[in-house]
Structure 1
């Protein structure tokens, strides 16, 4: 059976407020969906914008300077740690980032899995998922596969082959696993299935780095 990473997040920014942050994230997600679909009249639209600016002002007072890290580096890269939890604010898989894709990660060693259903905000061609959203999902899928194989590291190359349209409103299953390793180089492959058919395939090259190296790289960017 696949193991879904659903344990509580260890991120320090969420200590004592994880449920409340999840509620905020869900509300903003709903707002994104409504904002991309509403035809509210101009006065209602402007009133809503002003209310949201006031909410943003209130929350902005609690933004730390310097900001806390988005990704935690102290957890093991062997698949035992909560992959999504250590990336709580990630742009693709972060549970507390309302921009993240509507996907959940699970492990079925040696495979990593992503499951979910794309909704209207992720539309590209009419009725279909935007290719950029799919590419982002594959990048995190491969990262998860590398993570469970103990070979985490940055992406060097990612090739996406779109076989057929991926539909909105239809369950998606992404499957990925490490295909080969040579020194620090890692080759990872993945595919996306809808209704039992492959719609997209991906091949990625990654560079395996230890946590100390990643931490030094992060520190240089601060």
Structure 2
């Protein structure tokens, strides 16, 4: 899993253009949100609250205030508008949109599960196309702690699947997770950045075989990974989406 991306990935030819370039800090946001900055700031404050709530203790009066505020705010939000559904063309756009440029931050929805900055239940994630793969820098706060100082394995796995999903975006294919195998070789630390690196190793028709490794943020590139994963994604072709 430590080698470079496979040179020869056989499979369906991508029907859209590749706009790969060294674009630095560009954001490839598939579904823009006019309130992206405001919603991300609010979600960030709620994430801070969640981690503080888990890590600290307070008096009953403060807990009652938090309960009343949270319930009232939720009721206000629920009454303000109908729920916003996810767009139905999420997969179809893989075959008409340009691929994210190399080095760009990649994001589907601002409030995407596990990685969206506008989702208060997400982790702190910076997801970028890295050559023909994906590299994500992830920090897990106190709300995801299990064993002392270590991230819960389920939270680690959730981000593994999310990073591999974004690998499909960067490859320009629509695909579902069919199989995911994870080897937990070391504990993932709380409150410290870790690096997720994912790549496609080969393609057999509609089968995309992938690998992923997780290392501490300050570890050298050849350091043994904390987590290794291998998976199989099944591609849904543009023709199948059309039918």
TM class, shorter-length = 0.7 to 0.9
C-alpha change, 1:87 and 1:210, in structure 2 (3 Å) is: farther
C-alpha change, 1:9 and 1:150, in structure 2 (3 Å) is: closer
| Alignment TM-score, normalising by the size of structure 1 | 0.84
C-alpha change, 1:152 and 1:5, in structure 2 (3 Å) is: farther
- Which has more helix, going by share of residues? 1
1:191 aligns with 2:209: no
1:6 aligns with 2:27: yes
1:113 aligns with 2:160: no
- Superposed, which structure 2 residues align to 1:39-188 within 5 Å? 39-65=57-83, 67-69=84-86, 73=90, 75-76=93-94, 79-80=99-100, 84-188=106-210
Q: How many residues align?
A: 212
1:32 aligns with 2:50: yes
1:202 aligns with 2:222: no
C-alpha change, 1:20 and 1:37, in structure 2 (3 Å) is: same
C-alpha change, 1:8 and 1:90, in structure 2 (3 Å) is: closer
Structure 2 unpaired stretches of 5+: 1-21
Ranges of 4+ aligned residues in structure 1 off by more than 4 Å: 1-5, 81-84, 211-216
What RMSD over aligned residues (CA atoms) do the two structures have, in Å? 2.6
Whether the 8 Å CA contact 1:180–1:186 is kept in 2: the answer is: yes
| Alignment TM-score, normalising by the size of structure 2 | 0.77
Whether the 8 Å CA contact 2:200–2:209 is kept in 1: the answer is: yes
Structure 1 unpaired stretches of 5+: 217-222
Whether the 8 Å CA contact 2:36–2:110 is kept in 1: the answer is: no
